[in-house]
Amino acid sequence: MEQVAGNPWAALAYLIAGMCFILALRGLSSPVSSQRGNRFGMIGMTIAVVTTLVTHVPAADGGGLNSATIAELLAAIGIGAAIGIVTARRIAMTAMPQLVAAFHSLVGLAAVLVAAAAFLNPLAFGIADRVIPMIGQPFAVIHTVSRIEMGLGVAIGAITFSGSVIAFLKLNGNMGGKPILLPGRHLINLGVLAAILVLIVAFTQDQSAWIFWTITILSFAIGFLLIVPIGGADMPVVVSMLNSYSGWAAAAMGFTLHNSAMIITGALVGSSGAILSYIMCRAMNRSFVSVIAGGFGAESGGGGDGVKVDRPWKRGSAEDAAFLMSQAEQVIIVPGYGMAVAQAQHVLREMADKLKAHGVRVKYAIHPVAGRMPGHMNVLLAEANVPYDEVFELEDINSEFAQTDVAFVIGANDVTNPAAKTDRSSPIYGMPVLDVEKAKTVLFIKRSMGGVGYAGVDNDVFYRDNTMMLLADAKKMVEEIVKSLD
């Protein structure tokens, strides 16, 4: 580690890498500049990795570079790169939320492994305060500050790993979206968190192995306990929260390794993830603590459980929808998770192109928590080459629904539910929603009338006089509409 501290070129390279990461975040703040932001991120990570390898490869006994170590590093990089390339090429855009959760779990696991390696061999990591001669192998006493960093790093990393695994299982459908509410979960969670903090304090005074491994095990457990009670409707917040955790875990390990690139990157990811979590919570009118407490829609049995419908509603056809939209001046399309599941984004753009050919003004309304991760709908629409200037966030377009002829809702339930504005008993009460019901006509694509959204509540829009339900698979229905527009 001292190689970096005494090498001005390495410090300069890490500084340049940090600047690239900052420019990457700035670029990713807008769909227009997102590709440029990704390029900056790739350049910054390449600089950081190459600099770390160049400054930390140990020398061979006879001097020069250690070829065996270089071979091992290149093999590891090659395997990781191959897995990443294959995954990126094969992953469906609809599976992006669970892929992000999987990546977060790997970051957390990496932090745990680095902390464990540093604990088992502090001399190799340069974190030993002194060495006590003993029979057999000398005992290295770790710096007190390094123990704090190590304890926090392994705790945050373990929480990130197990929490991300549960998030992946929920997003991938291996676990239901309905909250799993354990009896006495709040007391259990508080007790485990308190025990972790006490053990981290004890670790600063006592370097016993049992303390370190107990912190690790309890942290794995609390990550599981924190995410299991959280329902599917809160998944966008969970994803951004775990993103923040992974950043702080990396930053803590950066201090342990004395690696400024890890500290900068981790701090950027951690702070940006925390800010994004705050934005998501505001979009749902919920506090971060209430999300962590878990159970969004718990009382109403979320997760898409079916409910019996006994109110009158109107059913329409693809021909009806095509006629109404072709005669409109403006159509606002509201995409949701149903569009993602059906992979209807491409045919939806084709429908919008045909409407524009008929002289119809088309816009897209995006709710901040539509889908299963922040920006989920933006990613899908960008994949379909939807023009950026047609995509609007909730606060920018909500006032236009009252002057819109048709609101075309494709698989977005909770984010269009007016119960959030009127029903105090609703689990989504207070959450800002898209005012689709104010449009002259609402066309709502849904698989059937017997299901509800992830929050577990029915949508009053279905039964309004100006609503026409289009019951079918989203992609098939839009394809039929496109045919009718010819």
Q: Which residues are annotated as catalytic?
A: 414
User: 186 near 124, Cβ under 8 Å?
Assistant: no
Rounded Cα distance between 345 and 384, Å, is 6
Rounded Cα distance between 256 and 147, Å, is 8
SS3 content of the chain, % helix, strand, coil (to 5): 65, 10, 30
User: 258 near 327, Cβ under 8 Å?
Assistant: no
For residue 70, with 0-12 CB atoms within 10 Å meaning exposed, 13-18 middle and 19 or more buried, which class applies?
A: middle
What are the strands, taking DSSP E only, across 328-479? 330-335, 361-366, 391-393, 406-410, 441-446, 467-471
Rounded Cα distance between 302 and 82, Å, is 39
Type of residue numbered 319: E
98: tokens are 């669970």
Rounded Cα distance between 150 and 133, Å, is 24
User: 171 near 454, Cβ under 8 Å?
Assistant: no
For residue 347, with 0-12 CB atoms within 10 Å meaning exposed, 13-18 middle and 19 or more buried, which class applies?
A: buried
From residue 74, how far is each of 49, 53, 57, 62, 81 by CA, in Å?
A: 12, 10, 12, 22, 10
Q: What does 273-321 look like in DSSP terms, one character per residue? A: HHHHHHHHHHHTT--HHHHHH--TTTTTTTTT------S---B--HHHH
Rounded Cα distance between 164 and 445, Å, is 31
Question: Nearest to residue 193, comparing CAs of 160, 225, 237, 169?
Answer: 225
From residue 397, how far is each of 366, 390, 411, 430, 434 by CA, in Å?
A: 9, 11, 19, 19, 9
Sheet holding 467-471, edge to edge: 391-393, 361-366, 330-335, 406-410, 441-446, 467-471
Q: What does 160-182 look like in DSSP terms, one character per residue? A: HHHHHHHHHHHHTTSS-SS----
Type of residue numbered 386: V
CB atoms closer than 10 angstroms to residue 337: 25
